Amino acid sequence: MIPTERVLISEELRDRFAQANNVLVLTGAGISAESGVPTFRGGGNTTVWKGMPFDVISSAGMLARDLPAVWEWFNYRRGLLGALKPNSAHEAIALWQTRFQDLTLVTQNIDGLHQAAGSRNVVELHGNIWRARCFDCGSRHDVRELKSDTLVPVCFDCGGNLRPDVVLFGEMLPAGAFESAAMKAQTCDLCFVIGTSAVVYPAASIPEIARAAGAHVVEVNPEHTALSDMCDEVVIGKAGEVLPMLG
């Protein structure tokens, strides 16, 4: 753990933060890991579910082969998330909505912690674990409102089978999500990349687009990543410690 007093924030970043009008924030698993959310990529038992690797049970192929197993897996994951709360980084970003003229929050996370902290209009690149989507009519429902005697819940609107409204391995991003983020990246003057190495495309291109358009790109991570060299500034530290220091 990096003590707060060792986190260094440059005067340039403080000045840019104070003067910014249009800010884009891209977040990944690291920000939620500070709330206790498992990343399912760090080794150990969390990467396997009943003998199946994480990227198998969370795949489009498994959705087609065994929908009940996919639901069982995501029900298990929601059970892990249910008691977790937003941390100070989530809360700081939510407060930025009133600080900046235009704030765009783009997340690769599916846990809903940004919304729980008060963030609105979050661009969810990978969906949300608390939502279900109908295979037939496309309607979306809050999983917490579903009551079903079967493992696979059905749509309130048409009676069709529901699936978790998340992007599985082998699937495309939700229509318009990346496009919306890319458009905002072209016009922001300050871009934060928080808790992610942002090396997986298309999400990785968001800070690239921002930098090409003249934005000051800042990475906030506990350690250097593959993204660090392309950023204008890297702040080494936990997001929950760094972001409140900015104000």
Q: Which pLDDT tens digits describe the chain residue by residue (247 residues)?
A: 444 446 778 999 999 999 999 999 999 999 999 999 987 654 444 566 778 888 899 999 999 999 999 999 999 999 999 999 999 999 999 999 999 999 999 999 999 999 999 999 999 999 999 999 999 999 999 998 887 666 899 999 999 999 999 999 999 999 899 999 999 999 999 999 999 987 778 888 999 999 999 999 999 999 999 899 999 999 999 999 999 999 7
Alpha carbons 84 and 116: distance in angstroms, whole number: 10
Q: What are the residue ranges of CATH 3.40.50.1220 in the chain?
A: 4-37+86-126+172-246
Of 159, 161, 167, 170, whose CA–CA distance to 68 is shortest? Answer: 161
**Do residues 138 and 161 make contact, with C-beta atoms less than 8 angstroms apart?**
no
Q: Which helix (H) or strand (E) holds 106?
A: strand 102-107
Of the candidates 114, 126, 141, 216, the residue annotated as catalytic is: 126
* pLDDT given at position 38: 83
Q: What are the residue ranges of CATH 3.30.1600.10 in the chain?
A: 38-83+133-166
Of 29, 15, 26, whose CA–CA distance to 185 is shortest? Answer: 26
Of 152, 169, 161, whose CA–CA distance to 134 is shortest? Answer: 161
Residue 114 a catalytic site member: no
Tell the CATH superfamily of the 4-37+86-126+172-246 domain. TPP-binding domain (3.40.50.1220)
